[in-house]
Amino acid sequence: MKALDIPAGQGAAGKVGTRPVAVYNTGKGLTVLENICTHMKCQTQWNSAERSWDCPCHGSRYHPEGGVLQGPAKRPLPALEYHLENDEIVLEE
């Protein structure tokens, strides 16, 4: 997944290897989250109008940087450590 493809203030859901990630460009850097809803493990989708990660399964919504905006989820999407290699996101684990 390429970092340059995500404009500042926007996010994109995708995969790094087999791992689902939710990547937000803060304008100063990227926030890379594990894209597994903490309610029942669906994958969220980026909502560009509201700038949130929205879960299609039961309506949970998350802040671009992972915090819960609306339940039923109670826990944030976890942040993942990463680095960039030729603009590709590489997870640390």
Q: Using CB under 6 A, list all residues that contact ligand FES.
A: 37, 39-42, 55, 57-60, 72-73
What minimum distance in Å lies between the beta carbon of 38 and ligand FES?
8
What minimum distance in Å lies between the beta carbon of 88 and ligand FES?
28
Beta carbon nearer to ligand FES, 37 or 89: 37
Q: Which of 58, 62, 49 is nearest to 22 (CA)?
A: 62
Distances (CA, A) of 21 to 14, 33, 56: 5, 6, 16
Q: Which residues of 5-24 are buried (b: 16+ CB within 10 A; e: fewer)?
A: ebeeeebbbbebeeebbbbb
Beta carbon nearer to ligand FES, 62 or 82: 62
What minimum distance in Å lies between the beta carbon of 2 and ligand FES?
27
